[in-house]
Amino acid sequence: MKYPPEPFRIKTVEPIARTTDYERIGIIQDAGYNVFNIPAAKIYIDLLTDSGTSAMSDNQWAGMMRGDESYAGSKNYFNFEKVVNRIFGFKHVIPTHQGRVAENLLFSTILKDTKGLVIPNNNHFDTTRANVEYNGGQALDLVVDIAKDTQAIADFKGNIDLKKLQALIDRVGPERIPIGMLTVTNNSGGGQPVSMANIRETAALLHKFDIPFFIDACRFAENAYFIKMREAGYRDKSILDIAREMFSYADGCTMSAKKDGLVNMGGFFATNNDELAQQITNRLILIEGFPTYGGLAGRDMEAIARGLEEVLEEDYLAYRISQVEELGDRLIDAGVPILRPTGGHAVYLDAKNFLPHVPQSQFPGIALTVSLYTHAGIRAVEIGSLMFAHEDSETGEVVYPDLELVRLAIPRRVYTNSQMQYVAENIIELYQDRENIGGYSIEYQAPVLRHFTARMKPLA
Ligand SMILES: Cc1ncc(COP(=O)(O)O)c(C=O)c1O
């Protein structure tokens, strides 16, 4: 079966309200044409993010009732540690309340007091980049060039370019690279996977120069599933074995459990390095809490432990990846321009090609998110000029990003396939009517991270 069905049935439902076209026009106007400002109750299908939006299973909810809220040595911590250890294989497991805290602990420790350090990655996620830069480092994206071509079809468009990595080591010297990273799957590059060969070779290259190798593991199970399906020699291996092999090459990882932990909150840092683990634990106590809870309730750790087991189930992953793929295929069949191939957690509309008559200076991605909402009550996120365009510090000219994307991130186990069909049909309708979609200008913007709070206005 090309698109395997849901391997679960629904036991609890949450009603979602449908608004009228007329209501949505007023709502989006009040929101300053920025979907971040719309109350969630006024959204029909919310594809803003796949982070922290998963539906937990009955087994996870049952685990929450078994929460041991002891300050020190909660039994849930030991179960959580055992599961993380089994899958990821690292000796030290340090819970955090979400992924960016694991990043903060790592970078504030390894970049502290030293100028001129560089952290290479395939693509840094925004919070990873921000944590590197805030701590005085330089975050470099070294993804393979083919990743920048939205129409190029390749199995592993998330790979790091090993030649670029070697050139970086030659240029700055290994002593200025405290660690190298890979993000699996590559969220900022369209949710594209990284191959096992690339993980292995990245580790080998870094280790040749005694540079530790870390993985940003948020979507590790989705990445492992792509390896199973696409890379020679892995078809008969279990997801657990593939995941264990991925992490066997690494010295540690940061993890937001809000993705492949199948929970609404949580994360961890894990490593084999005793000294680093000790330093990070000391900082953890300062900013998050005691080492056996690190900012999480006992019940949260139990839910993560159970979620990490469930996410390895092949039926789940087959359904998960194919739900995203099916949405992508419906759009491709109707000629709608999307980033190809579809990634693991989201479909990315190519707004530049969707609305060729709207120049980047008029925010085609915003035009599309506004139209998606007013047309069908669907919330997506712009990943384009409102998020990334900036003035060149020397010339003062606006520098636009290469891509204008609109991300439709699919929450895990939340929407049915008929709701996905609704999404596809409405996007296709919009595409057929694209000439009537116009551009926007900015009415208000904050000095940093303006996309969250900007207020826009239609140009016509
Ligand atoms: C690749 C990647 N790394 C790190 C993070 C940060 O995780 P959190 O939102 O839990 O802080 C995210 C969140 O979306 C992510 O996608």
pLDDT per residue as tens digits for the range 99-111: 999 999 999 999 9
- Judged by phi (left if over 0) then psi (alpha if -120 to 50, else beta), residue 365 lies in alpha
Is the confidence at residue 393, as pLDDT, over 80? no
How far out from the chain centre does Cα 160 lie? 17
The Cα–Cα gap between 77 and 293 comes to 7
Interior angle at CA 456, CA 337 and CA 408, nearest 5: 35
Better pLDDT: 173 or 449: 173
Q: What is the pLDDT of residues 50-100, one digit of tens each?
A: 999 999 999 999 999 999 999 999 999 999 999 999 999 999 999 999 999
Q: What is the pLDDT of residues 139-198, one digit of tens each?
A: 999 999 999 899 999 999 999 999 999 999 999 999 999 999 999 999 988 999 999 999
- Compute the CA torsion angle 273, 277, 278, 279 (nearest 10 deg): 110
Residues in Cβ contact with 400 at an 8 Å cutoff, skipping those fewer than 6 apart: 360, 361, 385, 388, 389
Kindly give, in sequence order, each residue whose CB lies less than 8 Å from that of residue 222, ignoring residues fewer than 6 positions away: 185, 191, 193, 260, 317, 320, 321, 344, 345
Helix (H) or strand (E) holding 393: none
Tell whether the model's pLDDT for residue 401 goes beyond 90: no
Residue ID of nearest Cα to ligand 1 atom 13: 51
Percent of the chain scored above 70 by pLDDT?
100
Please state at what angle helix 220-230 crosses helix 239-248, rounded to 10 degrees.
110
Distance (Å) from CA 118 to ligand 1 centroid: 20
Q: What is the pLDDT of residues 426-447, one digit of tens each?
A: 999 999 999 999 999 999 999 8
Residue 448 has pLDDT above 80, yes or no: no
Tell me, what's the pLDDT at 33?
A: 98
CB burial of residue 232 (10 Å; 0-12, 13-18, 19+): exposed
H helices within 311-459, ranges in order?
A: 314-333, 351-354, 364-376, 385-388, 417-432
Can you give the pLDDT at residue 79?
98
Residue whose CA lies nearest to ligand 1 atom number 7: 99
As for ligand 1, residues whose beta carbon falls within 6 Å of it are 51, 98-100, 125, 127-128, 183, 187, 216, 218, 256, 258, 267
Q: Specify the DSSP class assigned to residue 186.
A: B
pLDDT band at 416 (very low <50, low <70, confident <90, very high): very high
